[in-house]
Amino acid sequence: MASADDLAFHEFEEATNLLAETPDAATTSRSDQLTPQGHVAVAVGSGGSYGAEDEVEEESDKAALLQEKQQQQPGFWTFSYYQSFFDVDTSQVLNRIKGSLLPRPGHNFVRHHLRNRPDLYGPFWICATLAFVLAVTGNLTLVLAQRRDPSIHYSPQFHKVTVAGISIYCYAWLVPLALWGFLRWRKGVRERMGPYTFLETVCVYGYSLFVFIPMVVLWLIPVPWLQWLFGALALGLSATGLVFTLWPVVREDTRLVAMVLLSAVVLLHALLAVGCKLYFFQSLPPENVAPPPQITSLPSNIPLPPTLPQSMAPS
């Protein structure tokens, strides 16, 4: 429980004092904007918010101070705590995605786009989309390969969905955790800029994975050098965004630590991209990547399986 408090109240020590005084209260700052609590069927402890109203009045000046910091953190056991991480509009999400696609040297993703209001919608659904797109395009590659060479055995390979999901989510959550832990450990060396919160790090990583989605779709084109080119481009964009975001935090540290950290981040990202390519797109045997005219010459000297004319017909 203490670690969750550290994560949530990293910058808001007053909020911890507030909750320490009223441990049963589920304080919400913008209750008029939130949906009526009566509709919340999943809430844990949402009933506590009704009992806290007189205490909220007493601490209204403290609440006003916290309002200036634009977020009042309710307890992590309440539904509205998690609702604060989904407080984004469609235009904001699209803006953040655009910011991750086009990294610029001066613009720190966290300060410029997130503006210290990280959301969990982007990372979660980008990871989900990437996992499913990986599985679907990997399957499609197998289908297209089988049309060119019927000797490849086609199967839906549904277990790849599970593998894709687990690996993407582990990457997008465990690597930011390690990075955040490492940056906090080195906090003493820095004077000027504090480290990012855990959620901001998760946000940065989540949005940086967005560029892999079009890359994976473009990997359907079965030309290997083009696939590696797309992979390198996407990896470059994504890793550049990460480096530009991390550079202001890391540059006050010793040179060695900075270089090691940044190269570790880029290396892990590259490992993810290469791992995806090799695991989900490995179905093409090297000799079948040759252009079609060489394959159509095969039927003359090999006994045809019955499906061959039908699969050759559309090409």
Among 35, 70, 254, 294, binds other proteins (CB under 8 A): 35
Cα 39 to Cα 52: distance, rounded to the nearest angstrom: 19
Q: Which is nearer to other proteins, 80 or 245 (CB)?
A: 80
The structure tokens listed for 171 are 């990457």
Residue whose C-alpha is closest to residue 179's, from 112, 228, 249: 249
Tell whether residue 88 is a contact of other proteins (CB under 8 A).
Answer: yes
Among 151, 294, 296, 307, binds other proteins (CB under 8 A): 307
| Binding range to other proteins, per CB under 8 A, among 100-108, 147-155, 170-178, 290-298 | 147-155
Gyration radius from the chain CA atoms? 25
Among 51, 156, 275, 292, binds other proteins (CB under 8 A): 156
Cα 111 to Cα 246: distance, rounded to the nearest angstrom: 11
Task: Tell me how far, at minimum, the Cβ of 181 lies from other proteins, in Å.
Answer: 26
Stretch 194-223 residues interacting with other proteins (CB under 8 A):
none
**Cβ atoms of 87 and 172 closer than 8 Å:** no
Task: Tell me how far, at minimum, the Cβ of 36 lies from other proteins, in Å.
Answer: 7
Tell whether residue 37 is a contact of other proteins (CB under 8 A).
Answer: no
Among 61, 89, 191, 287, binds other proteins (CB under 8 A): 89
Task: Tell me how far, at minimum, the Cβ of 256 lies from other proteins, in Å.
Answer: 42
Task: Give the Cβ contact number of residue 314 at 10 Å.
Answer: 6
Task: Tell me how far, at minimum, the Cβ of 162 lies from other proteins, in Å.
Answer: 8
Quickly count helices (H) and strands (E) in the chain.
Answer: 15, 0
**Cβ atoms of 116 and 110 closer than 8 Å:** yes
Among 7, 34, 63, 308, binds other proteins (CB under 8 A): 34
**Cβ atoms of 204 and 245 closer than 8 Å:** yes
Tell whether residue 158 is a contact of other proteins (CB under 8 A).
Answer: yes
Q: Which is nearer to other proteins, 30 or 104 (CB)?
A: 30
Tell whether residue 311 is a contact of other proteins (CB under 8 A).
Answer: yes
Among 136, 144, 177, 295, binds other proteins (CB under 8 A): 136
Among 7, 93, 144, 218, binds other proteins (CB under 8 A): 93
Which own/partner pairs from 7-13 qualify as long-range (CB within 8 Å, at least 24 positions apart)? 7/197, 7/198, 7/199, 8/73, 8/76, 8/81, 9/73, 10/197, 10/198, 11/69, 11/197, 12/66, 12/69, 12/71, 12/72, 12/73
Straight-line distance from the first to the last Cα atom of the chain, in angstroms, rounded to the nearest whole number: 61
Residue whose C-alpha is closest to residue 219's, from 304, 140, 108: 140
Q: Which is nearer to other proteins, 82 or 247 (CB)?
A: 82
**Amino acid identity at 154:** Y
Q: What is the DSSP code string of 234-284? A: HHHHHHHHHHHHHHHHHTTS-HHHHHHHHHHHHHHHHHHHHHHHHHHSTTS
Among 6, 24, 154, 252, binds other proteins (CB under 8 A): 154
Tell whether residue 85 is a contact of other proteins (CB under 8 A).
Answer: yes
Task: Tell me how far, at minimum, the Cβ of 70 lies from other proteins, in Å.
Answer: 17
| Binding range to other proteins, per CB under 8 A, among 6-14, 38-46, 101-109, 187-195 | 38-46
| Binding-site size, other proteins (CB under 8 A) | 40
List of residues contacting other proteins (CB under 8 A): 33-36, 39-42, 79, 82-83, 85-91, 93, 121, 124-125, 128-129, 132, 136, 139, 153-159, 162, 307, 310-311, 313-314
